[in-house]
Amino acid sequence: MAANNNPPSGLEKEQIFGMAEKEMEYRVELFNKLTHTCFNKCVEKRYKESELNMGENSCIDRCVSKYWQVTNLIGQLLGSGRPPM
């Protein structure tokens, strides 16, 4: 956006919309990967019950927590420009 507080031009609006669209695509892809990864890791292949059991719930909670921790760590490393460990 312009530094002089003028409303964004048509081109700037288009760029902002494009960036928001890319961000949404990234978030949807991240959510889909998270869901797929944790479901495959934690849920029995043959369903025995219609609800998740306590073990599956715990596994999913841990999986999601670790997934977000790693995602945040990678984001911080990429943002800082430091090489991975």
Q: For 37-79, write each residue's pLDDT tens digit.
A: 999 999 988 888 889 999 999 999 999 999 999 989 988 988 8
Q: For 4-22, write each residue's pLDDT tens digit.
A: 677 778 878 888 888 899 9
Tokens found for residue 74: 């990678």
Please state the φ and ψ torsions of residue 68, each to the nearest 5 degrees: -70, -40
Residues 6+ apart with CB under 8 A from 16: 1, 8
Model-level pTM?
Answer: 0.67
